[in-house]
Chain A
Amino acid sequence: SQQGEEDPQALSIQEGENATMNCSYKTSINNLQWYRQNSGRGLVHLILIRSNEREKHSGRLRVTLDTSKKSSSLLITASRAADTASYFCATDENTGTASKLTFGTGTRLQVTL
């Protein structure tokens, strides 16, 4: 079953604008990760935030985590055409031996010039 659910499903913005996408999940987690997927390519890791962290930055990326609301957001500031991609959140489902990552359905971001 899908644990992380991204919102919106699709987002279109102009270059220079900020893009915000959200991820909601159902059960408690240890960590949440965000990945980017360019069309026809594999996923690339962007950032990992632990359950005891509230905010994390990496370059133009800002991720927040609200465990009380079971949600996370990914903010891309000053977007560029090269940011056009699908973005996925991934959460863990602890099995005891190793955790399984569960991916959401993704947000498709289109950045136009």
Chain B
Amino acid sequence: NAGVTQTPKFQVLKTGQSMTLQCAQDMNHEYMSWYRQDPGMGLRLIHYSVGAGITDQGEVPNGYNVSRSTTEDFPLRLLSAAPSQTSVYFCASSYSSWSASYNEQFFGPGTRLTVL
């Protein structure tokens, strides 16, 4: 099992550009989520999904879109990048859809994004 994979590892964007951060898991996990990590802020939840076709907003959803067409993939889209979106982005998954807190979260290695 590859676990949770994220691509790319690094990305530099100019303000206003769009891009998609990819996340995939091969563990047949129902629950997937995206976090951003900023210095001194811990991890903040952007969006999450409890299964294919179902997504919901987290703590900081503005400027980001997600979709979940398959169990395996959960891409995060930045429609018009802003410098405030400079951060490290982590994707995570867990087995059960009904409660993230009852289950170990498996994290990907992260994508370091810089917006100029």
Q: Pick from B102, B104, B109: contact of A42, CB below 8 A.
A: B109
Q: Mark A18-55, 1 if CB is under 8 A from B, else 0.
A: 00000000000111010100001111110010000000
A-contact bits for B55-69, CB 8 A (1 contact / 0 none): 010110000000000
Interface residues on A, range: 20 to 34
Q: A28 to nearest B CB, angstroms?
A: 12
Within 8 A of A (CB), among B81-105: 90, 92, 97-102, 104-105
Do A105 and B105 have beta carbons less than 8 Å apart? no
Tell whether, in the assembled complex, residue B102 and residue A30 are in contact, meaning their CB atoms are under 8 Å apart. yes
Task: Please determine whether A97 and B101 come into contact, CB atoms closer than 8 angstroms.
Answer: no
Judge whether B48 and A31 touch: CB under 8 Å: no
- Residue of B31, B45, B59, B104 near A48 (CB, 8 A) is B104
Interface segment among B11-19, B34-42, B70-78: the answer is: B34-42
Q: Can you list the 10 inter-chain pairs with the closest CB atoms, starting with the nearest?
A: A92-B101, A42-B107, A103-B43, A45-B104, A105-B42, A99-B101, A31-B101, A99-B99, A43-B107, A103-B42
Contact (Cβ within 8 A) A1 B107: no
A101 near B45: Cβ-Cβ < 8 Å:
yes
A108 to chain B, nearest CB (A): 11
Q: Is the CB of B102 within 8 A of A44?
A: no
**How many chain B residues touch the partner (CB < 8 A)?**
30
Q: Is the CB of B42 within 8 A of A106?
A: yes
A67 on interface, CB distance cutoff 8 Å = no
Tell me which residues across on chain B come within 8 A of A2, comparing CB atoms. Answer: 41-42
Residues of A within 8 A of B58 (CB): 100
Residues in A whose Cβ lies below 8 Å from that of B110: 40-42
Docked complex Cα distance between A44 and B101 (Å): 15
Q: Does B24 contact A (CB under 8 A)?
A: no
Closest to A98 in B: B50
Inside 8 A of A97's CB, which chain B residues have their CB?
Answer: 50, 56, 98
Closest to A31 in B: B101
